[in-house]
A = this chain, B = another copy of it.
Amino acid sequence: MDIETSVVQMAKDARKAANTIASISTQAKNKALLEMADTLVKKADYLIAENAKDLDCARQAKLSPAMIDRLTLKEATIRGIAKGLEEVAALPDPVGKVTSMWRRPNGLLVGRMRIPLGVIGIIYESRPNVTADAAALCLKSGNAVILRGGSEAINSNIAISQILRDSLISAGIPEAAIQLIPFTDRLAVNKMLELEEYIDLIIPRGGEELIRAVVKQSRIPVIKHYKGVCHVFVDENADMDMAVSICINAKVQRPGVCNAMETLLVHKNIAGKFLPAIAAAYRGAGVTLKGCKKTKEILPDVEDAREEDWGWEYLDLILSVRVVDSIDEAIEHIEKYGSLHTEAIVTRDYRNAQHFLRDVNSSTVLVNASTRFSDGFELGLGAEIGISTTKLHAFGPMGVEELTTTKFIIYGDGQIRT
């Protein structure tokens, strides 16, 4: 079978499996998840050996140390993956939950019941742990999944997915509920993105370029975020210590992720006091600052921020800084340069806190807390399949509930329409 025919067959098998697992018991799903966790740990040596093949290729291809680090499976990584699967097993099953129910004047009882989306395609890069994480979340929410990992992790991904599928079989669940596309050819993805008849949703996870290519090609709905250009606005009457602590955390704790701060906005009335304090703290943490004109009047040594710095996702220890005249100027800046991801205000003013929460239309808006909390686990969703900046279906961090939709269920006693 050629690549395209194989991909179509996988999609058909997934659709069929989806019909079965939509109504499978929570017990069966959890049994499979726990067995997956168990087997991954037991077969750690095998996984590490398969991963070594990918690492060899990666070194030959001279991938960056950061990429090789993300690609590496160690025993601790594998135990971490297994623990993740156990946590997914412990989550409440979203399927079948009736989210609301009301009675109509004619006596009809109308409710909404959560059901799986069907078949989900996940397109991702490098990290082999996504193979297990994403498959587990899709299974728990009753969806079949087609995984398409990066070519650099192909041996690791095949090994992991085979263990997952064996556990499905021993729990009596159709194997096709979890499938990995074994082809690294671009043709496979292109074909997959055409199959709207069999696949209900595509979630791309990776760099902006990958995601834009997927959106352009896909006939299937895509939930994605292109990038995270997150802002913290320090209001004129912010608590100074809190503002420093939040700004350090938002920028420094893990600069390479999408919910790290990329631009700091400071009210002009606090800038003279706050900027020197935060600049000293950032200096100690190795952060390079790029400032607007007014910032440079206070901190003459920082680099100039150019127009393209606003809206830039550094993913590094670099921060652009702008002094603004008012909260409204801060909100306008975010509207113009932001990415609808995550923004925070640090303030003691009640009205400004509510104004910011209400009028900033990013997927996560915080008062007096670090942008780093924009994360499915941290917000209490129990897990995270990704973050959406698409204002449809799911906006912000997505857990298992976001992998379901609702249907209307109606209890009547003979009603007809007149």
Contacts and interface: CB of A to CB of B under 8 A. Distances in A.
Contacts of A392: 117, 200-201, 221, 392-393, 405
A379 B104 contact: yes
Nearest to A395: B405
B249 A417 contact: yes
A132 interface: no
A184 interface: no
B408 A397 contact: yes
13 contacts: A23-B359, A104-B380, A113-B357, A196-B215, A200-B392, A216-B219, A221-B392, A245-B414, A246-B414, A357-B409, A366-B410, A368-B414, A379-B410
Given A200-B392, A393-B405, A405-B393, A416 B249 contact: yes
Contacts of A250: 416
A361 B115 contact: yes
A364 interface: yes
Nearest to A196: B215
A99 B224 CA distance: 23
Q: Is the interface of A mostly helix, strand, loop or mixed?
A: mixed
A372 B361 CA distance: 38
A131 to B, nearest CB: 24
A250 to B, nearest CB: 8
A50 to B, nearest CB: 33
A338 to B, nearest CB: 12
Contacts of A115: 361, 391, 395
A157 interface: no
A370 B418 CA distance: 10
A190 B40 CA distance: 49
A359 B245 CA distance: 51
A382 to B, nearest CB: 12
Interface of A: 19, 22-23, 96, 102, 104, 108, 110, 113, 115, 117-118, 196, 200-201, 215-216, 219, 221-222, 239, 242, 245-246, 248-250, 253, 335, 353, 357-359, 361-370, 372-374, 378-380, 390-397, 405-418
A376 B23 CA distance: 27
A146 to B, nearest CB: 16
Given A104-B379, A245-B414, A374 B215 contact: no
Contacts of A201: 392
Contacts of A353: 411
A408 B379 contact: yes
Contact of A370 (B219, B249, B417): B417
A393 B393 contact: yes
A402 to B, nearest CB: 10
A266 to B, nearest CB: 18
Given A361-B22, A361-B407, A372 B110 contact: no
Contact of A373 (B108, B113, B368): B108
A24 to B, nearest CB: 11
The 7 residue pairs across chains A and B that have the minimum distance between CB atoms: A369-B412, A249-B416, A393-B393, A372-B417, A366-B410, A242-B414, A364-B408
Nearest to A335: B19
A233 to B, nearest CB: 14
A117 B221 CA distance: 16
